[in-house]
Structure 1
């Protein structure tokens, strides 16, 4: 996912993280300096939905404006079917292993 916080902030004329942090605080979202810096300078690993809602309200945007899908990265993570030996569209049949079966539970 691409995180477009700085782009959306710039579209609203917000050029500094401190300015956005003040606006978020006015809207009820108090962020620490570290959390604000992480949101401003990089892509967050996690974000609370309540926080995302306030950020979208302040920037007058939708979550899809801030979080942009990257289908090419997803495709790159998926192993190619040709590379997997014996791969097919049919899932393998799962059979129990022979051996010492477990006893039944007491009644």
Structure 2
């Protein structure tokens, strides 16, 4: 069985719970903890689930928001493929259709 995992990113929610509504408010707070990100990078960090996240950044966010990593990240299965076992019918697959293109007679 193949399972594709993804995360739900709760940074914006945790910020709102602390009364932080401007993404730019994180810039100086992160810098105080040795994490130097541009305003654009912080905006993307808040508004999109990060593909990569340094442990230093995660630790700084947890310190700023007084939370644990699992308060920011929720791991979920985003796509599951079911393996066929013997005796079970395979899931119906769409069949390819052959198409014939006919041109009008040009004579």
**TM-score class normalised by the smaller sequence:** 0.5 to 0.7
> What is the alpha-carbon distance in structure 2 between the residues aligned to residue 28 and residue 12 of structure 1?
21
Query: Which residue number in structure 2 is paired with residue 67 of structure 1?
Result: 73
CA-based RMSD of the aligned residues comes to 1.8
Query: Which residue number in structure 2 is paired with residue 9 of structure 1?
Result: 15
Unaligned runs of 5+ in 1: 87-107
What's the offset of the Cα at 1:34? 2.3
User: Displaced runs of 4+ in structure 1, greater than 2 A?
Assistant: none
> What is the alpha-carbon distance in structure 1 between the residues aligned to residue 83 and residue 24 of structure 2?
48
Query: Which residue number in structure 2 is paired with residue 78 of structure 1?
Result: 80
Secondary structure class of the residue paired with 1:10: helix
Query: Comparing both structures, which one devotes a greater share of its residues to helix?
Result: 1
> What is the alpha-carbon distance in structure 2 between the residues aligned to residue 10 and residue 79 of structure 1?
36
Unaligned runs of 5+ in 2: 1-6, 87-107
Q: How many residues align?
A: 81
> What is the alpha-carbon distance in structure 1 between the residues aligned to residue 54 and residue 81 of structure 2?
31
Q: Normalising by the residue count of structure 2, what TM-score does the alignment of the two structures yield?
A: 0.67
Superposed, 1:33-72 pairs within 5 Å as: 33-71=39-77
> What is the alpha-carbon distance in structure 1 between the residues aligned to residue 11 and residue 74 of structure 2?
11
Do residues 21 (structure 1) and 24 (structure 2) align? Answer: no
The structure whose RCO (Cα within 8 Å, separation 6+) is larger is 2
